[in-house]
Amino acid sequence: AQSVTQLDSQVPVFEEAPVELRCNYSSSVSVYLFWYVQYPNQGLQLLLKYLSGSTLVKGINGFEAEFNKSQTSFHLRKPSVHISDTAEYFCAARGSQGNLIFGKGTKLSVKP
Amino acid sequence: NAGVTQTPKFQVLKTGQSMTLQCAQDMNHEYMSWYRQDPGMGLRLIHYSVGAGITDQGEVPNGYNVSRSTTEDFPLRLLSAAPSQTSVYFCASTQAGSRGYEQYFGPGTRLTVT
């Protein structure tokens, strides 16, 4: 079955610390991979995407992700987080119906 | 260029009522879809359409109908609302076959069924 797994439902971190949000995908999904961010009571905004090429993908707001085919992972990282990064983050893969298959989300809470 | 728009933003229904959630996009995208978001569940696909006149079911289609008479509009109908349909609904669109495969999301409709 096609699936995307986000290993942490909540990640608390202090301001200016580094953070990694983990994502694994099943081998049955395409390797078109995405990270979206959702701020409270808002819609989804694309952070970054991997389609092909370099395995290190840079996105908006200082985020980056690394595609690892052997580990079927697409972890999201930021070297120094800000209070404003507090949000829910979703990893997704393109499914066979042209849709996105989402993980269940990781709530990042940045504390001062 | 408004992108993807959804109306209403909020709605409260009583069990058994019907309603239509509206979705429109002005990017001439062929592919449109509806998702529902529930706490701890991520987003799940309800229905999708690859072009005018063509729709298909996603992961959780029961209790919902869609139609696609134009490229721009993709309404979602709740036939007889149930409390289990309390959720946040997102409409999305993308250009089928586009290199980016990026889906653009609307702002969402928060629906409560009592």
**b/e burial code for range B55-92 (CB count within 10 A of at least 16 → b):** beebbbbeebebbbeebbebbbebeebeeebbbbbbbb
Burial class (CB in 10 A: 0-12, 13-18, 19+), A54: exposed
Question: How confident is the prediction along chain B (114 residues), in pLDDT tens digits per residue?
Answer: 779 999 999 999 999 999 999 999 999 998 999 999 998 888 999 999 989 999 999 999 999 999 999 999 999 999 999 999 999 999 999 876 655 577 899 999 999 999
Tell me: the pLDDT tens digits for A45-73? 999 999 888 899 999 999 999 999 999 99
Q: Which candidate from A43, A46, A94 shows the least CB-CB separation from B106?
A: A43
What does the DSSP 8-state code read for residue B14?
Answer: -
Distance from the Cα of A71 to chain B's closest Cα (Å) equals 22
The whole-angstrom distance between B92's CA and the closest CA on chain A is 9
Query: In a mutagenesis test of the A interface, which of B43, B47, B88 is the best target, namely the one with the most A β-carbons within 10 Å?
Result: B43
Q: List all residues of chain A from 42 to 61 with a beta carbon under 8 Å from chain B.
A: 42-46, 49, 51
Q: Measured between beta carbons, which residues in chain B are less than 8 angstroms from residue A100?
A: 43, 45, 92, 103
Q: Distance between CA A64 and CA B75 in Å, rounded?
A: 35
Q: A10: which strand partners?
A: A107
Is A43's CB within 8 Å of B45's CB?
no
Q: Give A-chain residues touching B45 at CB under 8 angstroms.
A: 95, 97, 99-100
CA distance B68 to B75: 7
